[in-house]
Amino acid sequence: MKTHKYDTVIVGAGGAGMRAAIEATKRSRTAVLTKLYPTRSHTGAAQGGMAAALANVEEDNWEWHTFDTVKGGDYLVDQDAAEILAKEAIDAVLDLEKMGLPFNRTPDGTIDQRRFGGHSRNHGEAPVRRSCYAADRTGHMILQTLYQNCVKEGVEFYNEFYVLDLLMSEVDGVKRTAGVVAYELATGEIHVFQAKAVVFASGGNGKFFKVSSNAHTLTGDGQAAAFRRGLPLEDMEFFQFHPTGIWRMGILLTEGARGEGGILRNKDGERFMEKYAPVMKDLASRDVVSRSIYTEIREGRGCGPEGDHVYLDLTHLPPEQLDAKLPDITEFARTYLGIEPYTDPIPIQPTAHYAMGGIPTNVQGEVLADNTTVVPGLYAAGEVACVSVHGANRLGTNSLLDINVFGRRAGVAAAEYAATADYVDLPEDPAAFVQGQVEALRSSEGSERVTEIRKALQETMDKNVMVFRTEQTLKEAVEEIASLRKRYRSVSVQDKGKRFNTDLLEAIELGNLLDLAEVTAVSALARKESRGGHYREDYPNRDDVNFMRHTMAYREVGDDGTESIRLDYKPVVQTRYQPMERKY
Amino acid sequence: MATPVMEKSQAGAGGTAGDSPYITATFRIRRFNPEVSDEVTWQDFELEIDPKERVLDALHKIKWEIDGTLTFRRSCAHGICGSDAMRINGRNRLACKTLIKDINPDKPITIEPIKGLTVQKDLVVDMEPFFQAYRDVMPFLITKGNEPTRERLQSAEDRERFDDTTKCILCAACTSSCPVFWNDGQYFGPAAIVNAHRFIFDSRDEGGEQRLEILNDREGVWRCRTTFNCTEACPRGIEITKAIQEVKRALITRRY
C-alpha cells in the first residue's frame, strides 16, 4: 500500500474532472485520478453541441434558456441552479473558445449555433438556434481542448487508477472528507490518497442497460462509493433514453441530425412526431420523442420484419450539409449498418443515455449528506452529480454545459476550501475495505460468472425499467436485482494476477452497477406518477401535489448486517416558474 | 408532402428471422503476461459469431465466456475514445471499428498489440512515450496580448484550414504503424506532428514558431520517410502524411 497527500484530489478526467482540474491546479496541489487515460472519457462521444444563449445568429437570452431547462426537466429542476447554468453558459462557451476550441463559425466569424431539442424562443414559441457546436464532434473537441489545457497548466494525472472507496472521518461529530482509495491497474497496488478536498467527476452509470449509448466503463463507481459510505443518491429513477440510437447497438446518433432537419418516420413513411408535438415536432424533448417512438412501435407502425425500430431520415438533406455538419454519425451508419445516409434512412431505437440523478450537490458543487447538510471537503460535478439542473429530463446540449459550468465551480470551490482547511486524520486502516473487496474476488472459488450476472441485469433493466414502467415491471426488476446481488456474492474471476487485471475490475464494476440498479428500481417503484424520463403507465399523469420533490435514497445497514434502501424526499427549489402542463 | 415509404435497408445488426447469421471464425491472439512467463505465445480461439459484429465483440466474447485473463483496453466501442488500437491481420485498426466480415474471416484473424511501444500484457502497451511526444509539441493554443471579451473571430475558411487534424483521437494507430518510429522511439511520430499541425495552422494561434522549432529537431518531421502507413492506419481518415508535408513546407517557407 502506498500513501499520497494532496490538497485536492479529483476523481475522473472527463469534461467535468478536467474543467475542475484546470481551476484547482492553479489554486492548490491537485491530483487527478482516472480509470481511463483522460482523452478516453465518454465526454468525447457527445456530439451535438453545448447550449448557450450567445444570440449570435438570432435573438436569444439566458432567461429563455432557463425556462426551457426547467420545462424540459418537467419542473423537477431546481430553478436557482438552472438559472446559474443558463447565465454562466455564455462565459463557459467563451472560455472554451479562448482555450482553443475550434467551434464551427458563422459567415461573420463568430461561433455558429444550431437548433436542438427543447430549446425554444420566448418560452416555447418556436425552435431557437442555441447549440454551439463543432460539426458532430463537440464533445470530442471539448475533451481534447480541456486535456490540452491540462497539459498547459501542468495538471498531475494518475492514469488508470480506479477509485474504489471514499474516506471520511468524524471530527467533533461531523463526517469530513479524508481522501480516497484507488487501485492501480498496471500493478494491482492499492493507493491511499489523503486529501483536504475531493471532487467526484467520475461520470454516469448507463451500463446497467443493454441497449445504451454509454461506454463499457460507465459503471457508476463514484455514485456507488458515496452510497456505500452512507451518502444519499438523488433522483436515480430519472434516466434518459435518447431517441436515436443505432438499432440494436445503441450507438448515439446526435439530436443535431434532427436540428439540421432530419425527420423521424414510421413504416408508412409518416412523420409521426407531428402528432405528438405539433410545434417542436422532431425537436421535442427527448423523453417525449422516445415515448412517441415506442408508441409507434407498440401500435404496429415500427419498421423491419419485427417492427422494432423506426427510421431517422436524412435523405432530403444535401450531401454537402451532411458532410459538413454530421460527418461522424453518417460514418457510423456506413460502418456499423452498411447504410448510405445520403440515400437510405437509418434504423434507430431509443438508447439508454444519461443519468439525471446522482450524488446530490448544491450550486457550489458541495455534496449533501441529507437535504441540507454539506459534507465538508466533498464535491461532485457532471453526470455523477445531481445539482439538479436536469430534473426529470435533461435537454440535449445541457450536459456539455453542465460539466463546464459545474466542473469549474466545483474545482474552484474545492481548491478554495483546501486552501484554508486542515487535513482530516485518515480512518484507521484506510484501505481495509478495498483490500478486502479485491482479495475476496481474487480468492473466490464461487461458481457465478460476471458476464452472466451482468447480462441478466441488463436484460431485466431493459425489460422492466426502460421508457415504459409499471408497478409490476418495477417489482419484477427489484426482485430480480436482489437475486442477482445474492448471486454476485459467489462470483469469481479467472484472472488472479496483479498486472492489468481487468477481469477483476469488471467484477468490481458489476457490483457497483447492481447497487445502483437497485436504487434506480426502488426509487422508480415509489414514484407513483409520470414525470420527464420516468413514465408510469399505471400513473400516466404528473402529480405535483405528492411528487413535486426529489427522491433521496439512503443505504441502511441493520444490526444483523442486512442492507436496505430508505427513501426520503427533498423539496424542489422554485423561483420564477410555476409548473405548467408540458406541451411541445 | 411526399412521404417515401420506408422499406429499404434491412442490412445491419441482425438478419431476418429464421436464417442463422453466425459463422465460425478463428481468432489468433498474441499472448504475453510477464507475471506468468517471459514467453510470447499465440493462442487460437474459435468462435461462433455474427460476421457483422465488431472485432471488439469477438474479444469480449473470448474474455467473458472463455478466458477472463485476456487483456485489452476498450471503452466507447464506437471509434471515438481511441482505447482499442491493435494490429489486426497485420494492419493497425480500432477493434471497435472493424467488422469481422471485412477482414476475411475464412482464415484465422491475427490480433496483436500495436508495435513500437512496450507490451505490458497481451494487447496492452505502455502509452506513456506516445503521450509524452504529444505533450512535447505544446498541444495548446498559444496567444499574446489581451484576451478579447467575446470570442476570437475566425472565418469559416480559416477554421476549415486545420479541420482535418482536429479529428485526432490519440489512439496511436498512426505512430505505431510508422517504420521510423519502430526503429527510433525518440522520433516524435505522426500523432504528435498531427497535433502540432492542428495549432500551427489555426489562425488564432501565435505559437507556430516555437512548435516548428521543436519539430525541426533531429527527431522531428525530417525523419518522416513518407511511407503513408500512418495515413492508411488512421481510423479517423486524417490525411496524416499530407499534414506532415505541410509542416515540413512551413519549416522551409516559414509561412503557415
Same domain, B170 and B117: no
CA distance B179 to chain A (A): 25
| Residue spans in chain A of domains classed CATH 1.20.58.100 | 432-571
Same domain, B27 and B112: yes
Query: Are residues B196 and B232 part of one domain?
Result: yes
Assess whether B139 and B214 both reside in one domain. yes
Q: Is residue B7 part of a domain?
A: no
Domain count, chain B: 2
Asked if the Cβ–Cβ distance from B166 to A141 is below 8 Å, we say yes
A427 alpha carbon, distance to own chain's centre: 31
CB-facing half-sphere around the CA of A325: CA atoms within 13 A: 26
- Say whether A269 and B131 touch across the interface (CB within 8 A): no
CATH number among 1.10.3720.10, 3.30.379.10, 1.20.58.100, 1.10.340.30, domain A432-571: 1.20.58.100
The distance from CA A495 to its chain's CA centroid, rounded to whole angstroms, is 30
Taking the C-alpha atoms of residue B123 and residue B126, their distance in angstroms, rounded to an integer, is: 10
Give yes or no: residues B249 and B177 share one domain: yes
Q: How far, in whole angstroms, is CA B105 from its chain's centroid?
A: 22
Angle, helix A432-443 to helix A502-526, in steps of 10 degrees: 110
Say if B175 falls within a structural domain: yes
**Chain B residues with beta carbon closer than 8 angstroms to that of A97:** 151-152
Residue B219 is predicted with a pLDDT of 87
- In chain A, which segments carry CATH 3.90.700.10? 248-350
Nearest to B232 by CA among B176, B185, B174: B174
Within 10 angstroms of residue B255's Cβ, the number of other Cβ atoms is 7
User: Cα(first)–Cα(last) distance of chain B, in Å?
Assistant: 49
CATH of the domain at B98: 3.10.20.30
Pair B54, B114 in one domain: yes
Closest in B5, B141, B163 to A269, CB measured: B5
Spell out where A38-189 has E strands. 50-51, 113-121, 126-132, 156-159, 161-171, 174-184
Same domain flag for B101 and B197: no
Radius of gyration of chain A (CA): 23
Within a domain: B11:
no
Is A222 marked as binding a ligand?
A: no
pLDDT of residue B18: 53
Whether B224 maps to a domain, the answer reads yes
Residue B50 inside a domain? The answer is yes
pLDDT in tens, B173-212: 999 999 999 999 899 999 999 999 999 999 999 999 999 9
pLDDT at A124: 94
Domain of residue B132: give its range: 128-145+157-253
Q: Please name the residue of chain B whose CA is at the shortest distance from the CA of residue A329.
A: B78
Distances (CA, A) of B29 to A394, B46, B89, B105: 43, 11, 10, 14
Other CB atoms within 10 A of residue A53 CB: 23
Distances from the Cα of B182 to the Cα of A207, A382, B178, B186, angstroms? 37, 40, 6, 10
Q: What is the dihedral of CA A447, A450, A455, A458, to 10 degrees?
A: 130
Q: Do B90 and B172 fall within a single domain?
A: no
CB contact under 8 A, A105 and B17: no
**Distance separating alpha carbons of residues A432 and A192, to the nearest angstrom:** 10
Question: Residue B4 domain-assigned?
Answer: no
Which residue in B has a C-alpha nearest to residue A333's C-alpha? B12
Considering the domain architecture, whether residues B138 and B226 belong to the same structural domain is answered as yes
Active site residues of A: 286
Exposure b/e, A316-344, CB count within 10 A at least 16 = b: ebeeeebeebbebbbbbbebbbebebeeb
Interface A-B, measured as beta-carbon pairs within 8 A, has a size of 200
B20: confidence class by pLDDT, cuts 50, 70, 90: confident
Query: What single letter denotes the amino acid at residue A203?
Result: G
**Domain boundaries A248-350, CATH class:** alpha beta
The pTM assigned to this predicted structure is: 0.96
CATH of the domain at B238: 1.10.1060.10
In angstroms and rounded to an integer, the radius of gyration of the C-alpha atoms of chain B is: 22
Cα–Cα dist A426/A165, whole Å: 13
HEC assignment per residue over B40-93: CEEEEEEEEECCCCEHHHHHHHHHHHCCCCCCCCCCCCCCCCCCCEEEECCEEE
A36 to chain B: which residues are within 8 Å by CB?
A: 75, 81, 83
Instruction: Outline where DSSP puts E strands in chain B.
Output: 23-31, 41-49, 85-88, 91-94, 109-112, 119-121, 124-125
pLDDT at B145: 87
Asked if residue A44 belongs to a known ligand binding site, the reply is yes
Q: Spell out the alpha helix ranges (H) of A421-449.
A: 432-443
Residue A44 DSSP symbol: G
Which of B116, B108, B248, B250 lies closest to B174, judged by CA? B116
Residue with cell 500495436: B114
In a domain, B17, yes or no: no
Q: Looking at the structure, do residues B119 and B139 belong to the same domain, yes or no? A: no
Q: Tell me how close the Cα of A239 comes to any Cα of chain B, in angstroms.
A: 19
Dist. CA B81–CA B97, nearest whole Å: 11
Which helix (H) or strand (E) segment is B158 a member of? helix B156-161
Nearest by CB to residue A269, choosing from B6, B11, B169, is B6
CB contact under 8 A, B68 and A495: yes
Share of chain B above pLDDT 70, in %: 93
Cell of A69: 431547462
Domain assignment of residue B47, yes or no: yes
pLDDT category at B218 given cuts 50, 70, 90 is confident
Q: Is A45 a known ligand-binding residue?
A: yes
Furthest CA-CA distance within chain B: 69
* pLDDT at residue A430, as a whole number: 98
Per-10-residue mean pLDDT, chain A, length 584: 97 98 98 97 96 98 98 98 98 98 98 96 96 97 98 98 98 96 98 98 98 98 98 98 96 94 97 96 95 97 96 98 95 96 97 98 98 98 98 97 98 98 97 97 97 98 97 98 97 98 98 98 98 98 98 96 96 97 92
- Dist CA A25 CA A140 (whole Å): 23
Please list, in sequence order, all residues whose beta carbon lies within 8 angstroms of the beta carbon of residue A504, skipping any fewer than 6 positions away: A438, A441, A442, A493, A495
The reply to whether B113 and B172 lie within a common domain is no
**Closest partner CB to A311 (pick from B6, B79, B204):** B6
CA of B188, closest CA in chain A: separation in Å? Answer: 17
What distance in Å separates residue B70's CA from the closest CA in chain A?
Answer: 8
- B132 with B187, same domain: the answer is yes
Which helix H or strand E contains A143, and what residues bound it? helix A138-153
